[in-house]
Amino acid sequence: EAGVAQSPRYKIIEKRQSVAFWCNPISGHATLYWYQQILGQGPKLLIQFQNNGVVDDSQLPKDRFSAERLKGVDSTLKIQPAKLEDSAVYLCASSLGLSETETQYFGPGTRLLVL
């Protein structure tokens, strides 16, 4: 079974530029998550989708971050414009559903450096 795929794996941009990350979850997984992991910290949930609907985006900085999952499968996370403090690893995860007993499976992440 293929795992969660993410691209690109690495990205370097200058502040005020825009950047987009792509995630393809495990086939059949209805729930998709985007996390931000700043160096030295644990992952922090940014946004959570159930199929193509947003379940929780309470910690997403909506003035600069946006995410979509148009057909309930792939998802993109965009930052526009980027700030220095956005330097982090962006992890995508998926699970079968929203139940408390569902395991989240993580992709390899996209490492973003904002100069």
What CA–CA distance (Å, rounded) separates 93 from 40?
20
59 to 88: interface string for other proteins, x by CB under 8 A: ------------------------------
Q: Figure out which of the listed residues 4, 23, 77, 82 binds other proteins, where binding follows CB under 8 A.
A: 4
Q: Which of 53, 20, 22, 59 is nearest to 38 (CA)?
A: 59
Is residue 72 within 8 A of residue 14, CB to CB? The reply is no
> Among 2, 27, 28, 40, which residue sits at the site for other proteins (rule: CB under 8 A)?
40
Residue 108 is a binding residue for other proteins (CB under 8 A): yes
Give the β-pairing of 75-79 and 65-68. antiparallel
- Count each helix (H run) and each strand (E run) in the chain, helices first: 0, 11
Two structure tokens written together for 80: 């526009």
User: In this structure, are residues 30 and 50 in contact, taking their beta carbons and an 8 Å threshold?
Assistant: yes
Q: For other proteins, which stretch binds (CB under 8 A), given 22-30, 65-73, 76-84, 91-99? A: 91-99
Rounded to a whole number of angstroms, the minimum distance from the CB of residue 84 to other proteins is 21
Residue 55 contacts other proteins per CB under 8 A: yes
Which residues here bind other proteins, judged by CB under 8 A?
3-4, 33, 40-45, 48, 55-56, 58, 91, 93, 98-101, 103-109
